[in-house]
Amino acid sequence: MPMSDESPVTEIPVPASSEPTLPETAPAVKRTKRGVPEGLWIRCDGCKATVYKKEVEKQLNVCPECQHHFYVSGQKRIEQLLDPDSFEEWFTDLRSVDPLGFVDRKPYAERLKDEQKRTGLREACIAGRGYLRGRPLVFALTDSAFIMGSMGSVVGEMLTRSIEKATELNLPIVIVSGSGGGARMHEGILSLMQMGKVSAALARLHEAGGLFISVLTNPTMGGVAASFASLGDLILAEPNALVGFAGPRVVAATVKQELPPDFQTSEFMQKHGFVDRVVHRADLRSEISRVIDYCVR
């Protein structure tokens, strides 16, 4: 008798490699090339041009040739968006543990330590309060460098507390998401449940009349896209970011046809009605402060 054999359907989209692939400006991936002084020039993922790194950094990690938006670390993002020295970080004593004793090719506990060393981050989330053009707000982000910016218990808890704080303090909250990983596999079902937890906190903020601005950056996928990142009163997205539910490889393998060229980009999501505005990184500060002024009195 044949046993039932269904074709597996994967639903959490993650690019095929498990090791987070970082853009070239990220700390860990530094390939030395002969003949080129290290770190002075970088190759643009967008136009393939070799561009002067200092120039890119001056333009908020945007390619001066083609406007490709490079990865920005969490710390840099805070410097770019918030008023100088206005950020007060919260929840810095939360630490991930390994509730399942999860071991793939390396134990999760070890992976956490390695990621901390590699990225200099405690976790994939940074949260706190600060000012943006003089407007007080709660600010949180997920950094896609740390285990793909995936959401485990600590990320879920930090975001939930941030949302609860915003509700309590009657402040707008801005969350900048970058997550290729969605819900973090290494914490299993507990990660999935963070989606419910964070979304429930957003329900309470919503009922209290609070403002939530969700900013999508490359990439925002899976369980992060299918929870808080999609629940902003306003959804802004950086140009050409990968935004969607299922990873493009998974979709391609399922539908067995070619994907539209702009599939799952910010522009695609705006065209289909799921993004309010695609905003150039250089305009994010002014755009966010402007919409805050429309919503907050």
Which range touches other proteins (CB under 8 A), out of 34-42, 65-73, 198-206, 282-290? Answer: 198-206
Of 44 and 159, nearer to other proteins (C-beta) is: 159
Token representation of residue 210: 């609070």
Q: Could you say which of 254, 262, 283, 290 contacts other proteins (CB under 8 A)?
A: 254
Closest CA to 276 of 295, 261, 252: 295
| DSSP bridge partners of 127 | 140
Do the beta carbons of residue 20 and residue 145 sit within 8 Å?
Answer: yes
**Binders of other proteins among 209-248, rule CB under 8 A?**
222-223, 225-231, 244-247
H or E element: which one contains 52?
A: strand 50-52
Least Å from the CB of residue 220 to other proteins: 9
Which range touches other proteins (CB under 8 A), out of 30-38, 43-51, 56-64, 195-203? Answer: 195-203
Q: Could you say which of 187, 238, 241, 242 contacts other proteins (CB under 8 A)?
A: 187
H or E element: which one contains 87?
A: none
Q: Does 80 bind other proteins (CB under 8 A)?
A: no
Q: Could you say which of 31, 35, 37, 255 contacts other proteins (CB under 8 A)?
A: 255
Residues near 41 by Cβ (< 8 Å), separated by ≥ 6? Answer: 50, 51, 52, 53
Which range touches other proteins (CB under 8 A), out of 22-30, 58-66, 249-257, 281-289? Answer: 249-257
Q: Could you say which of 200, 280, 283, 293 contacts other proteins (CB under 8 A)?
A: 200
Alpha carbon of 156 to those of 105, 124, 196: distances in Å?
25, 10, 9
> How far is 66 from 86, CA to CA, in rounded Å?
32
Least Å from the CB of residue 206 to other proteins: 7
Q: Could you say which of 35, 37, 84, 189 contacts other proteins (CB under 8 A)?
A: 189
Q: How do 125-132 and 88-89 pair as beta strands?
A: antiparallel
Q: Does 96 bind other proteins (CB under 8 A)?
A: yes
**Binders of other proteins among 156-185, rule CB under 8 A?**
156-157, 160, 182-185
Of 81 and 121, nearer to other proteins (C-beta) is: 121
Closest CA to 178 of 125, 130, 220: 220
Which range touches other proteins (CB under 8 A), out of 20-28, 51-59, 111-119, 165-173? Answer: 111-119
Do the beta carbons of residue 260 and residue 251 sit within 8 Å?
Answer: no
Residue count at the site for other proteins (CB under 8 A)? 89
> How far is 292 from 147, CA to CA, in rounded Å?
32
Judged on CB neighbours under 10 Å (0-12, 13-18, 19+), 193 is middle
Q: Does 97 bind other proteins (CB under 8 A)?
A: yes
Angle, vertex CA 267, rays to CA 266 and CA 272, nearest 5: 100
Least Å from the CB of residue 44 to other proteins: 27
Q: Could you say which of 44, 78, 81, 112 contacts other proteins (CB under 8 A)?
A: 112
Q: Taking the CA atoms of the chain, what radius of gyration do you get in angstroms?
A: 19
**Binders of other proteins among 9-28, rule CB under 8 A?**
9-14, 16-18
Phi, psi of 99 (to 5 degrees): -65, -25
Which range touches other proteins (CB under 8 A), out of 48-56, 77-85, 189-197, 289-297? Answer: 189-197
Q: Does 37 bind other proteins (CB under 8 A)?
A: no
